[in-house]
Structure 1
Amino acid sequence: MNSACVVFGAMCVFALFYTGSALRLNLFEYPCPIGCAQRTCTQLGCTACVRGYSVLYRNGMSICVTTCPEGDYKHPLGFCTRCNIPNCQACTDENTCTACDRGYELDRGECTRRFRG
């Protein structure tokens, strides 16, 4: 089975080609997310976004966003990715935290346990 998607305005016409004893063509339409780059729309969202947007992947789907949500940062390749710094709520890149979870304090881009003495 092969497939193709052609974007027409805000809709993607998706075609499935079945091979075997007979060749069939099934066409169906679904909306392309706002900010989706031309010819990158799939049934599960976008694989690339236009300038000014980043791809956000969640639960097997993808959309284009102008700002990555809290807890994510914009990767240089144009997609949002989660902060993987322990106890970090927000970060600017994979190594620099800008806000820590409750009970932690920011120390040179990392989160350290806050002790009350």
Structure 2
Amino acid sequence: MKSKQQQMGRMKLKEKDFAVNQIGRVIIVPEKSDDLWILYNIINPGDYVTVDTSRKVHHQLNNGKNTTASRVRLSIHLKVTCRDFHKDSSTLCIHGRNLESNGHVAVRSFHTLTLE
């Protein structure tokens, strides 16, 4: 029989710098769907979230008509506007405005991060 702790998610805490009721920073890696539920309850509108992700980028060929696509790795830095947890699919969607230009996502554009 599994203990309560084994049944619950257990995120990896890679870095922390915060105090109670103060602005701070944590770097965490969710490992189970329960971790996403915990994150949903921790992350609030107005918080800042950084996620390393990949994005499909289309490149126009010389003839101007055909395009090729490739995946690029990038970091997205959002100021959270809202978040949703979808129990059925065990996904956490974090909606927000991009804070930094990275060549693929414009500054101040809205973006949704979907964590599975």
Q: What's the TM-score once normalised by structure 2's chain length? A: 0.25
Whose radius of gyration is greater, 1 or 2?
1
* Bigger relative contact order (CA 8 A; separation at least 6): 2
